[in-house]
Amino acid sequence: MRCVILGGAGFLGRHAGRAMAAAGYEVWSIDQTMIEPAGSAPWLAGEVQANCFDLPAWWDRCGGGIDVVVHLASSTVPATASADPVLDVQTNLAGTLGLLQALRGKGGKTRLLFASSGGAVYGRPQAVPLAENHPTLPMGAYGVTKLAIEHHLRIEEATHGQSYRVLRLSNPYGEWQRPHGIQGVIAVFAYRALHGHALDVWGDGTVVRDFVHAADVGRAFVAAARYEGSARVFNVGGGEGHSVNHIISTLEQLLGREIERRIFPARPFDPPVNVLDIQRAWDELRWKPTMAFEEGVAKALEWLRGIP
Amino acid sequence: MRCVILGGAGFLGRHAGRAMAAAGYEVWSIDQTMIEPAGSAPWLAGEVQANCFDLPAWWDRCGGGIDVVVHLASSTVPATASADPVLDVQTNLAGTLGLLQALRGKGGKTRLLFASSGGAVYGRPQAVPLAENHPTLPMGAYGVTKLAIEHHLRIEEATHGQSYRVLRLSNPYGEWQRPHGIQGVIAVFAYRALHGHALDVWGDGTVVRDFVHAADVGRAFVAAARYEGSARVFNVGGGEGHSVNHIISTLEQLLGREIERRIFPARPFDPPVNVLDIQRAWDELRWKPTMAFEEGVAKALEWLRGIP
Backbone angles phi and psi of B46, in degrees to 5: 180, 170
pLDDT of residue B96: 98
Residue A303 burial class via C-beta count within 10 angstroms: exposed 0-12, middle 13-18, buried 19 and up: middle
- pLDDT band with cut points at 50, 70 and 90 for residue A87: very high
> Tell me, what's the pLDDT at A150?
98
Q: What pLDDT shows up at residue B271? A: 82
**Which of A205, A223, A209 lies closest to A172, judged by CA?**
A209
Chain A contact set for B81 (CB, 8 A) = none
Q: How far is residue A76's CA from residue A89's CA, in Å, rounded to a whole number? A: 10
pLDDT band at A303 (very low <50, low <70, confident <90, very high): very high
Residue of A91, A117, A150, A151 best to disrupt the B interface, most CBs of B under 10 A? A151
Interface list for chain A against chain B, based on CB atoms closer than 8 Å:
82, 85-86, 89-90, 93-94, 97-98, 101, 137-141, 143-145, 147-148, 151-152, 154-155, 158-159
B chain contacts of residue A166, beta-carbon cutoff 8 Å = none
Inter-chain CB proximity B148 and A152 less than 8 Å? no
Does the beta-carbon distance from A148 to B152 stay under 8 Å? Answer: no
- Confidence band of A163 (pLDDT split at 50, 70, 90): very high
Is residue A62 pLDDT above 80, yes or no? Answer: yes
Residue B134 has pLDDT above 90, yes or no: yes
User: Is residue A236 very low, low, confident or very high in pLDDT (cuts 50, 70, 90)?
Assistant: very high
**CA B304 to each of CA A132, B175, B182, B218, B249: distance values in angstroms, whole numbers, following the listed order:** 49, 7, 16, 20, 18
> Which residues of B fall within a CB distance of 8 Å from A148?
144-145, 147-148
CB contact under 8 A, A141 and B152: yes
Q: Check pLDDT > 80 for residue B269.
A: no
Contacts of B226 (CB under 8 A, 6+ apart): none
| Residue from B155, B166, B233, B269 whose CB has the most chain A CBs within 10 Å, to mutate | B155
Indicate if the pLDDT at residue A151 is higher than 90: yes
User: Strands A111-117 and A163-169: what pairing?
Assistant: parallel
Query: Has residue A270 got a pLDDT over 80?
Result: no
What distance lies between CA A159 and its chain's CA centroid? 27
Report the complex ipTM.
0.93
How confident is the model over B69-78, as pLDDT tens digits? 999 999 999 9
Residue A267 burial (CB count, 10 A): 9
Which residues does chain B have within 8 Å of residue A141's beta carbon, measured at their own beta carbons? 97, 152, 155
pLDDT, tens digit (0-9, with 9 covering 90-100), for B220-264:
999 999 999 999 999 999 999 999 999 999 999 999 999 999 999
User: Which positions in chain B touch A154 (Cβ < 8 Å)?
Assistant: 137
CA distance A144 to chain B (A): 6
Helix axes A11-22, A214-226, angle to 10 degrees: 50
Domains and CATH numbers, chain A: 2-172+211-239+277-285 (3.40.50.720), 178-209+240-274+293-304 (3.90.25.10)
Q: Averaged over B187-203, what is the pLDDT?
A: 96
With an 8 Å Cβ cutoff, are A141 and B155 in contact?
Answer: yes
Give the mean model confidence (pLDDT) for residues B96-107.
96
- Residue of A82, A97, A117, A126 to mutate when probing chain B, most B C-beta within 10 A: A97
pLDDT of residue B308: 86
Which residues does chain A have within 8 Å of residue B147's beta carbon, measured at their own beta carbons?
148, 151
Average pLDDT over residues B109-133: 96
DSSP 8-state assignment for residue B40 = S
Say yes or no for a CB contact (<8 Å) between A140 and B155: yes
- CA gap A14, A7 in Å, rounded: 9
Q: What is the pLDDT of residue A271?
A: 82
CB contact under 8 A, B90 and A90: yes
Three-class SS of residue B130? strand
pLDDT of residue A183: 83
Q: CA nearest B6: which of B138, B133, B103, B142?
A: B103
Residue pLDDT, tens place only, A171-219:
999 999 999 877 899 999 999 999 999 999 999 999 999 999 999 999 9
Cβ neighbour number for residue B169 with a 10 Å cutoff: 24
- Residues of chain A with Cβ-Cβ distance to B97 below 8 Å are 85-86, 89, 141
CA of B182, closest CA in chain A: separation in Å?
20
Q: What is the pLDDT of residue B132?
A: 98
Mean pLDDT of chain B: 96
pTM: 0.95
Query: Which residues contact residue B38 at a Cβ distance below 8 angstroms, ignoring those fewer than 6 apart?
Result: none
Distance CA A251, CA A294 (A): 9
